[in-house]
Chains A and B, each alone.
Chain A
Amino acid sequence: MTDIKGCQSCNSITGDSTLDLLNQDLAKQVRTAYDRLEDRGMSACLFGSGGTCCRICNMGPCQIIDGVDAMVGVCGATADTVAARNFARIVAAGTAAHTDHAREMVRGFIATAKGETPHEIKDVAKLHKMAAIFGIETEGRDKNEIALELGERALAEFGQQEGTLTMLKRAPEKQQKIWKEMGVEPRGIDREVVEMMHRTHMGVDQEYKNIMKQAARTSLADGWGSSMLSTELTDIMFGTPVPKRAIVDLGVLREDMVNVTVHGHEPLLAESLCLAADDDEIIALAKKVGAKGVNLAGVCCTGNEILMRRGIPVAGSFIQQEMVLATGAVEAMVVDVQCIMQSVAQVVKGKHTDVITTNYRAKIPDAVHIQFEEDAAYESAKKILKHAIANFKKRGDFYIPENKKLDVVVGFSHETINYMLGGRFRQSYRPLNDNIINGRIRGVGALVGCEHYKYSDDVHFKIAVELIKNNVLVLATGCAAQALGRRGLLRPEAATEYAGDGLREVCETVGMPPVLHVGSCVDNSRLLIALTEMVNEGGLGDDISQLPAVGSAPLWMSEKAVAIGQYFVTSGAHVIFQDLPVTGAKKFSQYILEGLKEDYGACWGVEKDPIKHARAMIAAIDEKREALGINKKQERVLMDMQMRRELEGKALPGMGCGQGGH
């Protein structure tokens, strides 16, 4: 595995569209992350990479070397303490990012319920489902009234101080029991982040297992708290994703349209832009400047949000954000929060493109700021689009790699998965469980997270192909999902091209791709529900840790990825990353990579090489299959009357009969 050395030696950039573009003269003038990586000319700090650089007080910074007495911190902090604190702070930061995103969505949800936004409560069935979870009365009530109560209850969970988060009770019972016994049930979302920051302040919690306990609690506040609230309420407001066709990659930009790319994370802005792009006035303005209209295209997770719900094309993922602009074909890149590189405002220098920041939290030097006003969302959106339209005439040289776009089928929310396996009347996870039990599907692998420039950009693809070849169904989110889409794995035809016989057969039966795009990075909460549904459906153990399922965030970049990884581990799902900043602390890394398993039934794993990484995932799945006793061929059971008589009422969940009172 060669570490990348920048644009001049583009041999590790394998993405066709990126290569094509970077070989164009106009793109060669642009300084991208590949160049900066090379220009920096130094490798990453070993203490930082190993997790043992402590800079939380001003006695240091201290570089700790494990096992060398002289090299503990000035305060006496050991490598394990420092690495644990750093790790826990990554989890806290990631959780904070999801939480602030979620808070905005919940606030937008409340405003929508009050009729103060251009949006409406779209998915009433899901609204009722969530209301039931929150114990909110629905009988005879207007959807907006229910939504308002739900929104306010959800918002209260952020600042809640006592008790536990409501969504925790959606988890398998045994999971809840484990959390209770471990004492890691989050009390309130913000409280856990604050406590995490406090406990990792100088001179507070200095026992790595105890620190990790709070990290576990914080991660649950993310996965089963803020992220889940965000996903569910966003679905209710903008519609739960259903299967849709769309296109991805740089080729989605249009020569004849005003290209507005939306980059960041919160779909409130993007949804408003989608509505405004169809506004007669906006279309007329676009035509006036000689364009056919406004072509919205997503970047990063905002892209995922509108891709999943509206089938809006995605121009690029995280690593392509500069490439999208380097085309010279984009009139404006509208950004909100998270994963926006400061460089985007530099890439557009000398071009007609404006980078428009819209959130008071996130400003960038040399960008244009147009505040997105939630209480005037539609007007804000139009204002932004008008700004972009005004740039169209100024478009100079540009290059759109037009043949570089790929078809994808997206929209696999856990509701979609449930539906597509049995239709409206028989929807359930039964066929998935059945085919896992009978071995057609070996297990489920989640590929989530980001991208970066240190390793070759086909890592996701290599891992995914190895997984599906070995009959592992892949669920993907975030930029990982886009990376797989650019390689054609989100097409249903990919099942025939890449999947092993068993998985192929199931994909062909259902008509689904072997890799399912489940949503943005905040939507990893969908995976928690999907895993829970698998447990509840039965036959694969009674908690998530027994499922033949494993997660991975290859090419993880953001702190959010670690928060996600940790909430999966705390929920019982084994997670493998390519690297983790724990290598400098022996006991702590041993705890992370093995010890956690005793506490939560799952732990972290690390493997850099993509193929070995995939095989480690498969091995983890096989281990679960072995433990479940489903690693052998299953004999067909034929039922006689006696056996039918022995069917207990409980064998028919959800049935009118056998539920007691009749």
Chain B
Amino acid sequence: MSKIICSAAIRGAKNIIDMAEETYEEALVKFGPEKEVAFPNTAYFLPIIYSMLGAKIEKLGDMKDIFQECRSLLPAVVTEDLWLPYLAPALDAGMATFFAEEMYEAIRYLNEPDFYTKTEDPTDNNLFLGAADDVIFRKRGVEFVDGTAPGFAAIMGTPSDKEVASKIALELQEKNLYIFMHDQSEGKNMAELLVKNDVQVGWNTRLVPFGKSYTSAVFAIGFACRVALAFGGIKPGDYKGNLLYNKDRTFAFVMAFGPVSDEWYANAAGAINWGFPTISDYDIPEILPTGICTYEHVVSNVPHDEIVQKAIEVRGLKVSVTKIDIPMAFGPAFEGERIRKDDLFMECGGGRTTGVEVLISKEMDEVEDGKIIMEGPDIADIEEGQNLPIGILVEVAGREMQSDFEPILERQFHHLMNYIQGIMHIGQRNIMWIRIGKAAVEKGFSFKHLGVVLHGKLHQEFGAILDKVQVKIYTVQDKVDEVMELAKQVYAERDLRLGSMTDETEDVFYSCTLCQSFAPSHVCVITPERIGMCGAYNWLDGKASYQINPTGPNQPIEKGECTDEANGYYTGINEFVAQASRGAVTEVSCYSLMNNPMTACGCFEAIAAMLPQCNGIMVVNRDYRGMTPSGMKFTTLAGMAGGGMQTPGFMGVSKHYLTSRKLFMAEGGLKRVVWLPKMLKEEIGEKLRQRCEEIGMPELFDMIATEEQGTTEEEILQFLKEKGHPALEMDTAIG
């Protein structure tokens, strides 16, 4: 019963707080109270403490108050008889446990800077990654937001058998969950067992080895806290908001293997605060009544072959997975898996051979649904290391199909093929590249399976617009060349069509509220010339998505009357946004950074920020970790722009928007841009030069500074003056 668990959790919490405080006292002697302390590259400080208490731990000495808080939260032990209510004290003890563990882990980063790899994937000599930095967090957090990942399993310990461990991991992956691994059972830890069994671990396969002690559980919980802060607009210190947000939106749970120590109980009690229940394979007491969690709080004695099913049921999660009939595992969890040199069986495209993929629509009678034609040698016909050319031609037909939708469907190929375990797909169109792993070949991979996947998934996801799908796969050069010819012609027509579409030519824009499950007041407005800030949704996507699901997250917006061309104010947009944001945002501009800028949930590719001294705008992309001239790193800026707030001077943008003709129209357009990270400038270089020429200032490209010229406003201003950047001559954009 609950009493045993609560008693143990309170004992465990005391042990953990004692241990952490002892470590703290030692660190204080060693480093002094002024020593800076942090998890790597994050704007969220120690995220649990920050989100629950609103306290920023920046220096070692800041921990003193939090330890006091831990002590005040730590309840008396539960008495044998005539006990006082123990559930609430145990939950408090669990919370104190997390505070203590977070500080303990932060001090570990001081004592042993290389204890964790601080990378996305394990390194050769270290399996344990430690806390996710903000780059990883944002990249992965988006998947929580768009539904690609419904939540995570925080695993404590491991089943002792590597096959069982791998099977459970695979099952969780197939449910699209992230698997965060902590601590060990009887000297074994799950990540090591998986690696021994040749399972690829790391963020890319969603099998994340956070740490080998139970204290690393705070990395999982801290991740959840950050999701609420970054995407939900929950304020630091709004503990109730954060906890309920996670209870309702992040479908996470604790899965514990083997004997449960007092310390594990303390962590499990802590997790219950977030609505994350514990599912154990061990014979421990259960807590079945509901309330803090959506359903049961602790369920035990669950056999290994039922544990994943039981866990998602207890958490109240529905995962709909369509079975794709191929011998390999399939799902989003395998999308990021890599095929390394040693694992490679053969490859197609990618400069090694000719590779092309294209999708075209045809008349209904020209397509035979489900037909998969394979011409040329298949995997079974070749030796390891023998590469082949490849041409993939997908022909679809449907009463609702429009040629405008072709590129959207084609763009799915990349992730759909990547979903296959053991297959890696890179690029698109005629620069595509497929690497086939040995593991897939061992399981019986055939090129035909690519067709099975494309046929099945396109039907599943786009059934509303297409009725028939047939796939032709060629691995002989002449046939591939034929597909290439056809593809080039198709691409050219498409690009022409897209290029001619402007905000003026279309009367209807599309909303995107895909992220509203995580950012309830945020509404994206997608126009032909301004794609969604996540970079993933353009106007055509919105149109197709509406066609597929007329009540879904993408709704048409009659743009109405344009009341201000420069700012891009439209009567229809304001009405729509006011309603869809439930009154939180009543006016939004389409082309301004300073006046009622568009809100963001937090999954933007880049952030634009005004630099007052330079009289210009900087844009920084998510992957740039360095300092920017705004005095803030991306992660800090993200706090200003995210969460559905309108903050003039800060706005989430897509990379694509940077080369749009509508870029910052209200502020004077491209001429206002003064700084970009080098990596971003290079990435969009070709188009950016083209835009500079279009506005009659080809020299502008070289006037835009990067971190090479500086990361302070003073440095950039100096550079702009030297170059005679046009922004310096423009009217002030502020006020």
> A residues bordering B, Cβ < 8 Å?
243-245, 407, 409, 416, 419-427, 430-432, 434-435, 438, 440, 491-493, 505-506, 508-512, 636-641, 643-645, 647-649, 651-652, 654-658, 660-662
Contact = CB atoms under 8 A, between A and B. Distances in A.
Given A423-B87, A657-B232, A660-B582, 15 more contacts: A419-B88, A420-B87, A422-B291, A423-B88, A426-B292, A492-B83, A505-B288, A510-B87, A645-B147, A645-B513, A645-B516, A655-B244, A656-B232, A657-B643, A662-B233
A509 B91 contact: no
A655 B249 CA distance: 13
Contacts of B292: 421-422, 426, 430-431
Contacts of A434: 289-291
B259 interface: no
Given A424-B73, A435-B291, A657-B520, A644 B248 contact: yes
Contact of A424 (B95, B249, B319): B95
A636 B294 CA distance: 10
Interface in B501-528: 513-514, 516-517, 519-521
A430 to B, nearest CB: 5
A641 B150 contact: yes
A657 B644 contact: yes
Contact of B244 (A244, A438, A506, A652): A652
Given A422-B292, A511-B2, A657-B520, A636 B583 contact: no
Nearest to B295: A636
Interface stretch (B161-169, B235-243, B486-494, B633-641): B235-243
Nearest to A660: B584
A649 B92 contact: no
B517 A655 contact: no
Q: Is the interface of B mostly helix, strand, loop or mixed?
A: loop
A660 B578 CA distance: 11
A638 B238 CA distance: 27
B291 A649 contact: no
Contact of A644 (B83, B84, B241, B517): B517
Top 8 closest A-B pairs, CB basis? A431-B291, A423-B91, A641-B147, A638-B318, A655-B241, A511-B86, A649-B520, A420-B85
A505 B519 contact: no
A641 B517 contact: yes
B273 interface: yes
Contacts of A512: 85
Contact of A245 (B84, B244, B313): B84
Contact of A640 (B245, B249, B320, B553): B320
B324 interface: no
B91 A435 contact: no
30 contacts: A244-B84, A407-B82, A416-B85, A419-B88, A424-B88, A424-B91, A424-B95, A425-B239, A425-B243, A431-B290, A438-B289, A491-B82, A492-B84, A505-B288, A508-B3, A510-B88, A511-B2, A511-B86, A639-B318, A640-B150, A640-B320, A644-B147, A644-B517, A656-B238, A657-B232, A657-B519, A657-B520, A660-B582, A662-B521, A662-B644
A657 B521 contact: yes
Given A425-B95, A425-B240, A657-B520, A506 B289 contact: yes
A658 B521 contact: yes
Contacts of B597: none
A564 B584 CA distance: 44
Nearest to A510: B87
B84 A511 contact: yes
Contacts of B313: 636, 638
Interface in B160-182: none
A253 B251 CA distance: 56
Contacts of B643: 657, 662
A376 B482 CA distance: 105
B316 interface: yes
A509 B87 contact: yes
Contacts of A505: 288-289
B530 to A, nearest CB: 22
B520 A658 contact: yes
A435 B17 CA distance: 33
Contact of A645 (B83, B289, B553): B553
Contacts of A643: 318
A430 B291 contact: yes
B594 interface: no
B731 interface: no
Nearest to A432: B291
Nearest to B150: A641
Contacts of A638: 312-313, 316-318
A508 B1 contact: yes
A640 B319 CA distance: 6
Contacts of B232: 655-657
Contacts of A243: 84-85
Contact of B88 (A407, A422, A657): A422
B89 interface: yes
Most buried by A among B84, B232, B238: B84
Contacts of A424: 73, 88, 91-92, 95
Interface string B301-336: 000000000001100111110000000000000000
Contact of A656 (B82, B95, B233, B248): B233
Nearest to A417: B85
Nearest to B89: A423
B287 interface: yes
B398 to A, nearest CB: 23
Contacts of B243: 425-426
Contact of A421 (B291, B516, B645): B291
A405 to B, nearest CB: 13
A641 B151 CA distance: 11
B704 interface: no
B344 interface: no
Nearest to A649: B520
B88 A420 contact: yes
Q: Which of A422, A425, A638, A645 counts the most B-chain CB atoms under 10 A from its CB? A: A425
A652 B248 CA distance: 8
Contacts of A657: 232-234, 241, 245, 519-521, 643-644
Nearest to B52: A425
Contacts of B81: 407, 493
A303 B582 CA distance: 52
A656 B236 CA distance: 9
Contacts of A431: 289-292
A423 B274 CA distance: 12
B318 A511 contact: no
Contacts of A509: 1-2, 87, 287-289, 297
Contacts of B514: 645
Contacts of B320: 640
B291 A425 contact: no
Nearest to A504: B1
A506 B290 CA distance: 9
B593 interface: no
Contact of A655 (B3, B238, B516, B553): B238
Given A638-B318, A639-B316, A657-B245, A425 B91 contact: yes
B6 interface: yes
A655 B289 contact: no
A638 B245 CA distance: 17
Contacts of B239: 425
B6 A658 contact: no
Interface in B646-667: none
Given A425-B52, A425-B91, A651 B248 contact: yes
Nearest to A416: B85
Contacts of A493: 81-82
Contacts of B89: 423
Contacts of A508: 1-3
A426 B82 CA distance: 25
B279 interface: no
A409 B82 contact: yes
A309 to B, nearest CB: 15
A427 B233 CA distance: 22
